[in-house]
Amino acid sequence: MIGVHGISKRFGTFRALDGIDLEVREGEFLALLGPSGSGKTTLLRIIAGLEFPDRGHVEFNGEDVTGLKVADRKVGFVFQHYALFKHMTVADNVAFGLSVRSRRLRPPKAKIRARAAELLDLVQLGGLGNRYPAQLSGGQRQRVALARALAVEPQLLLLDEPFGALDAKVRKELRRWLRQLHSQMGLTSIFVTHDQEEALELADRVVVMDHGTIEQVGTPEDIYMSPSSAFVSDFVGETNSLPVSVVDGRAQFFDRAIEVESNRVADGPARLDFRPHDVSVCDDQPGCLPMLVTGIYRRGGEWRVEGEVTGIDRALEIDVSATETPPEIGTRLGLRINRAKLFTTGVQP
Amino acid sequence: MIDDRKSGSGGRYALIALAIAFLALFLMLPLVAVFVEALSKGIAAYGAAIVEPDALAAIRLTLLVVAISVPLNIVFGIAAAWAIAKFDFPGKSLLISFIDLPFSVSPVVAGLIYVLLFGAQGWLGPWLRAHDIEIIFAVPGILLATIFVTFPFVARELIPLMSEQGRDDEEASLSLGASGFQTFWRVTLPNIRWGLLYGVLLCNARAMGEFGAVSVVSGHLRGLTNTMPLHVEILYNEYNFVAAFAVASLLALLALVTLILKSIVEWRFDYHRGSAGH
């Protein structure tokens, strides 16, 4: 189990991390999700021992490792651009961690070679051991980097934007494969990503970060369905947001009461966030929100309808089942919001 | 390329011819002249001029200077490039400017600085004399001057290379349990080897050929503080042309060998950089 307690880190005047507390469970696949500059990579590097915190400490299985260097932490680190040693063959890259051990701990040469071959098989690159990194595709390099990190039998696998440099199709395949490998090997893994889809698809739990602090920690379901802040609601998944004022615990949009199932917030200005699929079309009934349709296109089994609502600048996006006839551009549509989250804003709507 | 062919090949050939004529006149002709003059009294005279004791002493001294200054340059160059490329610290840009200093200062001035410092009338002169240490008009002075003049070569070659490579490879190596030394030896050094070799070649050529700075501090003592370029000058001033050109031809040969090695290294270097791209 990995514990991170009160970690703060500054780079000059930039506050990269500010009082981070986090528990990583045994065998967990954890995502650090956030926009660039949110501190996610810095946190990963501090856990690895590639960076050292100004305050706070890091524990591995109850043991304080804050002062330990990366070499002594038994972590596998996969770099964003893989950092393969380009003057070494793929097999030598994978064998590196074993071949630099002190003579006492170093397995015999034949054994190292066998282990490297085994790992290359594991990452489905058997037979490519004699190639050089430059002769591999991006996805293959990524897997070599993974095999190399796994060779030292780390207790913790850390991945920095593991799919960032790959094209969409390879990314998707590799994602699934990595998830499998993680469970198959019983690893504890932490990966950094700015791609919320990736985080939601892969991780057991997601840590959403912004401006050097943790906004929310939870399962993908928690994060998506019950975002704890306006930032998380915005950053994860697609969100429509209406400026409302809460009066007597009920949301009002320009004096029009909105009938919606949501959390309770204090009276005053707030924003009402809802997902495109949490909306149904209704006729002119009380509580329906009139929207002018400005665009429509197919998204898989649904129509994505874009529209304008008087009083807000940003277009709304809603999903309508593609089994229904699509609304026409220029027509008015009544919306019923089925499910929403309220966040107090302190700004007048 | 197609556009080139269309747009009047006459102009292109004229430019090429001009370049070749220029090279022939200013580079090839003097080079040929050196060898022609050196061999003008036959191969025996050429050989005699080279094995003559003062000439041998000059060659030995030059080799000694190279043997000391080049390794120092390698150590300094790697250390400086490493610090500049991989770490941030206050005064970094100042250090870069200092490394460039020998490029912008006339070698003669560089020599004079050492005379001013270590010479008999210099700041440290009395102290050195009291302790019986000879620097100016002795081998240590020549070494200092050569080191000063050559010290940007390796560093200048490595700084951009190492900056471009970043810290990822080293961090990867450390994260796999390698020690600092193992990381340097097995990851950093192979990554920079061609750039390093290139810098060493340039540094070597300059260390052997340096005239100005060395001339000021050497004192031109035959058989003692004469390097090859200084020996050539002395012989020439004595109207001993065959001997002068014979020794000069050795330096010219060195230049040719350096040029060939440099081309090979450049070719390998480009090849490696090319294949490293992604």
DSSP state of A261: B
Whether B176 sits inside 8 A of A100 (CB atoms) is yes
CB interface of A with B, residues 45-64, below 8 Å: 48-50
What's the token pair of residue B39?
């061999």
Structure tokens at A58: 């890091």
Chain A: residue whose CA lies nearest to B171: A50
- Strands annotated E in A113-210: 156-160, 189-193, 205-210
User: Closest approach of chain B CAs to the CA of A133, in angstroms?
Assistant: 8
Asked casually if ipTM beats, i.e. exceeds, 0.95, the reply is: no
pLDDT cut 70: percent of chain B above it: 94
The answer to whether residue A105 neighbours chain B at the CB level (below 8 Å) is no
In B, which residues are within 8 Å of A134 by CB distance? 275-278
Q: What is the mean pLDDT of chain B?
A: 85
HSE, side-chain direction, 13 A CA sphere, residue A105: 9
What is the rounded CA–CA span in Å between residue A147 and residue A109? 18
Q: Give the C-alpha separation, B141 to B154, whole Å.
A: 22
Q: How far apart are alpha carbons B264 and B21 in whole angstroms?
A: 25
* B163 to chain A, closest Cα gap in Å: 15
Lowest average pLDDT, out of A38-47, A208-217, B113-122, B159-168, goes to B113-122
Ranking A81-85, A129-133, B191-195 by mean pLDDT, the lowest is: B191-195
Chain mean position to CA A172? 14
Q: Which residue has the higher pLDDT, A70 or B275?
A: A70
Q: Phi, psi (5° rounding) for residue A288?
A: -85, 145
The mean per-residue pLDDT over the stretch B271-277 comes to 52
Q: Is A85 on the interface with B (CB under 8 A)?
A: yes
pTM of the model: 0.80
For the cut 90, the answer to whether the pLDDT of residue A38 exceeds it is yes
Q: Decide if pLDDT at B277 tops 80.
A: no
Q: What is the mean pLDDT of residues A87-112?
A: 91
Q: Of A70, A84, A134, which has the smallest distance from its Cβ to B175's Cβ?
A: A70
Tokens of B106: 């006339």
What band does A194 get if pLDDT is binned at 50, 70 and 90? very high
Q: Which residue of B has its CA nearest to A50?
A: B171
User: Which among B177, B186, B187 has the least Cβ separation from residue A71?
Assistant: B177
CB atoms A149 and B173 under 8 Å: no
Query: Residue A97 above 90 pLDDT?
Result: yes
pLDDT surpasses 70 at B5: no
Q: Is the pLDDT of residue A102 over 60?
A: yes
Closest by Cβ to A100, choosing from B182, B190, B277: B182
Structure tokens at B101: 């200093």
* Torsion angle of C-alpha atoms A239, A244, A246, A252, degrees rounded to 10: -110
Which helix or strand (DSSP H or E) is residue A257 part of? strand A256-257
pLDDT of B175 reads 93
Confidence bin at B141 (pLDDT 50/70/90): confident
Is the pLDDT reported for residue A160 higher than 50? yes
The secondary structure of residue A315, as a DSSP letter, is P
Best mutation site among A47, A79, A81, A142 for testing chain B: the one with the most B CBs within 10 Å? A79
Q: Compute the nearest-CA separation of A86 from chain B (Å).
A: 7
- β partners of residue A313: none
CA distances from A49 to A53, A108, A232 (A): 9, 29, 28
Work out the mean pLDDT of chain A and round it to a whole number.
89
Residues 6+ apart with CB under 8 A from B180: B174
Q: Tell me what pLDDT residue B276 has.
A: 44
pLDDT 10s digits, A286-341: 778 889 999 999 988 889 999 998 888 888 999 988 888 888 888 888 888 888 99
Length of chain A: 349
Give B172's contacts in chain A (Cβ within 8 Å): 77, 79, 83-85, 148
Residue-wise pLDDT tens digits, B186-229: 999 998 988 898 899 889 888 988 888 888 888 777 777 888 88
Beta-carbon separation of A77 and B175 below 8 A: yes
Q: Which of A44-58, A63-77, A206-220, B134-148 has the lowest mean pLDDT?
A: B134-148
If one counts every other C-beta atom within 10 angstroms of the C-beta of residue B86, the result is 14
What residue of A is the nearest CA neighbor of B166?
A: A83
Chain A residues within an 8 Å CB radius of B191: 86-87
Map chain B to HEC letters.
CHHHHHCCHHHHHHHHHHHHHHHHHHHHHHHHHHHHHHCCCHHHHHHHHHHCHHHHHHHHHHHHHHHHHHHHHHHHHHHHHHHHHHCCCCCHHHHHHHHHHHHHCCHHHHHHHHHHHHCCCCCCHHHHHHCCCCCCCCHHHHHHHHHHHHCHHHHHHHHHHHHHHCCHHHHHHHHCCCCHHHHHHHHHHHHHHHHHHHHHHHHHHHHHHCCHHHHHHHCCCCCCCCCHHHHHHHHHHCCCHHHHHHHHHHHHHHHHHHHHHHHHHHHHHHHHHHHHCC
Give the gyration radius of chain B's Cα atoms.
23
Q: Quote the tokens at residue B232.
A: 């050539």
A244 close to A270: Cβ distance less than 8 angstroms: yes
Residues of B whose CB is below 8 A from A44: none
Averaged pLDDT for residues A53-75? 91
If you search the block for the tokens 């700084």, which residue do you land on? B159
Q: Is the pLDDT score of A42 beyond 50? A: yes
**Closest Cα partner for A263 from A283, A246, A240?**
A246
Determine the distance from the C-alpha atom of residue A160 to the mean position of all C-alpha atoms in its chain, rounded to a whole number: 11
**Count of other CB atoms within 10 angstroms of residue B130:** 8
* Amino acid sitting at position A125: L
Residues of A with Cβ-Cβ distance to B174 under 8 angstroms: 50, 69-71
HSE-CB for A248 with a 13 A CA cutoff: 3
Are the C-beta atoms of residues A272 and A253 closer than 8 Å to each other?
A: yes
pLDDT class for A349, splitting at 50, 70, 90?
A: very low
- A138 inside 8 A of chain B by CB: yes
**CB atoms A148 and B190 under 8 Å:** no
Q: Which residue has the tokens 């809802």?
A: A274
User: Residues B145-152: what's their mean pLDDT?
Assistant: 89
Q: If you count them, how many residues does chain B have? A: 278
Q: Which amino acid is at A265?
A: V
- Kindly report the nearest CA distance between residue B82 and chain A, in angstroms: 18
Q: Are B202 and B195 spatial neighbours (Cβ–Cβ below 8 Å)?
A: no
User: Residue A97: which of B169, B177, B187 has the nearest Cβ?
Assistant: B177
A7/A209 Cα distance (integer angstroms): 14
Q: What percent of chain B has pLDDT over 90?
A: 18
The shortest C-alpha distance from A225 to chain B (Å) reads 38
* Nearest chain A Cα distance for residue B160, angstroms: 18
Q: State both tokens at A28.
A: 């967990």
**What is the distance between the alpha carbons of residues A274 and B174, in angstroms, rounded to a whole number?**
47
How close is the nearest chain B Cα to the Cα of A339, in Å? 46
